[in-house]
A and B are shown apart, each in its own frame.
Chain A
Amino acid sequence: MKPPPFAYAAARSVEEAVAALATAGGEAKLLAGGQSLVPMLNFRLLRPAVLIDINRIPNLDHIREEAGGLVIGALTRHRQIETSARIAKHFPVLTAAMGHVAHLAIRNRGTLGGSLSHADPAAELPLMAQLLEAEIRIANGRGGRSVAARDFFRAALTTALADDEMVTEVVLPALPPGTGWGFEEMAERRGDFALAAAAVTVTVEDGFCRACRIAVIGDGNGATRARDAESAIAGGPKDAARIAAAAEAAAGAVMPSSDLHASAEFRRHLIRSLTARALDAAWRRAEEART
């Protein structure tokens, strides 16, 4: 058998799951969709004493409207997010990104909470959490807490979650009216790990950018906001020079390395091109939203 031996328990509630995590004292792992955890077990990169299966916890896969935004349960499968009319309405950028998340069989199982907790540096959902300024609701035995995406992701495969904590919900605050979006990704095949990706929202009013968010994937550290690129766009009208400056700044926001899939130089080139394309699309959609 490929995975190392472990004891297995299926939690029936969030309380049960976090209590079991606390009891195991760092020796347990939560099993959600398993699409990243089980490969790591099969490679024996992890040897948890206990796996706590959270798939049987009820009422954790909701997509609910709240204060103009959405609250999404941690057990919501990628496939549910991909096909949700609510998400398409409020956050079409997320719908677009989901088409790049792995393959159908993986999307059928993989979960939102799992992807965020795993924090793969090439994954789209952490990128979306950064772009959409998600609040991540976390359960623990101490009354729970909520962490902003910018504080949640610490490094590749590293989050703010303590050993006895579990993501329960993700809050996506409403975007202002007149906001357009763009999402561009390059992978060797559709569904493979992204070589680079850029996600953008632009809020346009009277031809001027009132707010701009740019998040990129392109290095081993994971999704990051390209703040200098955002500054290059915010406050101004749409013009090619500003977009080129933002694209350049976005390429400077990542520290890619070369591997057998792509050179660092090519990854930077991708970020530059993808950011420019995403900005162009976002601006166009923002203007369409106004008319």
Chain B
Amino acid sequence: MSAATEIAIRITVNGTVYEKTVEARLLLADFLRETLNLTGTHVGCEHGVCGACTVLMNGDSVRACLTFAAQADGAEIETVESLGTIERLHPLQEAFRAHHALQCGFCTPGMLITGIDLLKKYPLASDAEIRDGLSGNLCRCTGYEHIVRALRAAATARDNGEAGETG
């Protein structure tokens, strides 16, 4: 085992394999945005508090600002770009649109990715549970109410087995 300041990584992002050599201290968030030009992942506080940079790593939501790109060697990363397109929104994105769950949109990528992981792992049987689940993601526009409604709609769709393939 030898320590190095430059690390060769092989990483799958939204289904595409990338092989890059990165500085050891390069954060996954900066790797996605600066190296791969995937700017859908937003960077807010850069110390794990705001949740804007949340991405899926091997299926679990993680803070991309608290993960080094070198640690993601061999991992599968999914960002907000993997969800849907303007023409064909992901069901959770559609729920956000229908319930006006965003204004400026800065927190939205992190909210969506967190929402997908919450829908996968928790019953979300009450609005209180949804609020607890979203408590690690900050939004300064909406007052959260509409985001909770969007998650509620998505959870209901999931429980009814509707087109809501949310993972």
Q: A209 CA to B23 CA in the complex, in Å?
A: 58
Residue of A11, A104, A109 near B133 (CB, 8 A) is A104
Contact indicator per residue, chain A 30-58, by CB within 8 Å of chain B (1) or not (0): 01001100110111000000111101000
A52 to B24 alpha-carbon distance, docked (Å):
11
A108 in contact with B1 (CB, 8 Å): no
Check A1/B60 contact, CB under 8 A, given A20-B3, A35-B48, A50-B3.
no
In the complex, chain A residues whose CB is within 8 Å of the CB of B62? 105, 108-109
Chain B nearest Cβ from A13, distance in angstroms: 9
Chain A's nearest CB lies how many Å from the CB of B2?
Answer: 6
Q: Which B residues are CB-close (under 8 A) to A20? A: 1, 3
Known pairs A9-B4, A12-B1; A1 contacts B135 (CB<8 A): no
Contact indicator B46/A105 (Cβ below 8 Å)? no
Given A51-B24, A109-B62, A109-B63, answer yes or no on A16-B1 (Cβ-Cβ < 8 Å).
yes
What's the Cα separation between A190 and B26 when bound, in Å?
31
Please count the residue pairs between chain A and chain B whose beta carbons lie under 8 angstroms apart in the complex. 118
Determine if A177 is an interface residue (Cβ-Cβ < 8 Å).
no
Which chain A residue shows the least CB distance to B60? A108
**Which of these, A1, A105, A191, contacts B132 with CB under 8 Å?**
A191
Cβ–Cβ contact B23 & A39, under 8 A: no
A6 adjacent to B24 (CB under 8 Å)? yes
Q: Are B24 and A7 in contact (CB under 8 A)?
A: yes
A106 within 8 Å of B by Cβ?
A: yes
Contact call B71/A39, Cβ cutoff below 8 A? no
| Bound Cα distance A11, B3 (Å) | 10
A66 at interface, CB cutoff 8 A: no
Docked CA distance A3–B70 (Å): 14
Residues of B within 8 A of A191 (CB): 132, 135-136
On chain A, the residues within 8 Å of B7 by CB distance are: 8
What interface size band does chain A fall in?
35 or more
Complex CA gap A7/B4 in Å reads 5
Interface size class of B (residues with CB under 8 A): 35 or more
Shortest CB distance B66–A (Å): 4
Is B51 close to A, CB under 8 A?
A: yes
Closest to A4 in B: B25
Measured between C-beta atoms, what is the minimum distance from A55 to chain B in Å?
Answer: 6
Determine how close the nearest CB of chain B comes to the CB of A50; give it in whole angstroms: 5
Bound together, the chains give a CA A31 to CA B71 distance in angstroms of 10
Task: Decide yes or no whether B101 CB sits under 8 A from chain A.
Answer: no
B97 contacts chain A at the CB level, 8 A cutoff: no
| B102 close to A (CB within 8 Å) | no
Instruction: Tell me whether B66 and A9 are in contact (CB under 8 A).
Output: no
How far does the alpha carbon of A36 sit from the alpha carbon of B130 in the complex, in Å? 25
A10 sits at the interface (CB 8 A): yes
Residues of B within 8 A of A105 (CB): 51, 54, 60-63, 114, 117, 136
Q: Could you give, for residues 110-147 of chain B, a 1 whenever the CB lies within 8 Å of some chain A CB and a 0 otherwise?
A: 00001001100100000000011101110000000000
A192 sits at the interface (CB 8 A): yes
Complex: A10 Cα to B66 Cα, angstroms: 17
Q: Knowing A1-B23, A1-B30, A105-B117 touch, does A8 contact B68 (C-beta < 8 A)?
A: yes
Residues of A within 8 A of B (CB): 1-12, 16, 20, 31, 34-35, 38-39, 41-43, 50-53, 55, 79, 102-106, 108-109, 189-192
Question: Considering the complex of A and B, which 8 residue pairs feature the smallest CB-CB distances, nearest first?
Answer: A103-B136, A8-B24, A7-B3, A39-B47, A9-B3, A108-B60, A38-B66, A105-B61
